[in-house]
Amino acid sequence: MKRTTIVIHHSAGTDHVTRDWETIKAGHLAKGWRDIGYHYGIEMIGDEAVILKGRSLDNGGAHCPAGNMNRVGIGICVIGNYQLAAPSPLIINKLSLLCKMLCTEHNIPPEMILPHKQFKATLCPGQYFPMKYLVDLVSTMK
């Protein structure tokens, strides 16, 4: 399956000390889905930003049906509500490393790292999410 885009989401919930990723997964499974809808997540666990695995990239996502993004997009959910505040530098740094790795592995140009709101009438990933900064950061990484 050819991946052409990375779609950035936020959970729109407050990141807690608990594993919010697991709560999201449980909610998706309760809907009858075969797994969490995203391929990756980024969450603060203790004092560390952690990359979490979701669906295999061999499987389509369940994160953005518009524009065929569930099929060609890699869905990344950043735990937190970025309508309220910007993500921490730790989150952005970990996300940029993940995006750079995925761009390299799948030959995705950094300008194809796009917000969920580009495909759906939503605020996701939030007004304070620094999309341009993320794309610029990934573009300049070696």
Mean pLDDT of 48-52: 96
Write phi, then psi, for 3 (nearest 5 degrees): -100, 130
C-beta of residue 138 within 8 angstroms of C-beta of residue 113: yes
Here the CATH number for the domain that contains residue 118 is 3.40.80.10
Could you report the per-residue pLDDT of 63-121, keeping only the tens digit for each? 999 888 999 999 999 999 999 999 999 999 999 999 999 999 999 999 999 999 999 99
This prediction's pTM: 0.94
Residue ranges of alpha helices (H) inside the chain are: 20-30, 69-72, 89-106, 131-140
Tell me how far apart the alpha carbons of residues 23 and 4 are, in angstroms, rounded to a whole number: 28
Please give the angle made by the CA atoms of 63, 68 and 73, to the nearest 5 degrees. 55
Please give the angle made by the CA atoms of 39, 41 and 44, to the nearest 5 degrees. 170
pLDDT of residue 16: 56
% of the chain beyond a pLDDT of 70 = 96
User: Could you give the number of structural domains in the chain?
Assistant: 1
Residue span of the structural domain in which 13 resides: 5-140
Residue ranges of alpha helices (H) inside 13-88 are: 20-30, 69-72
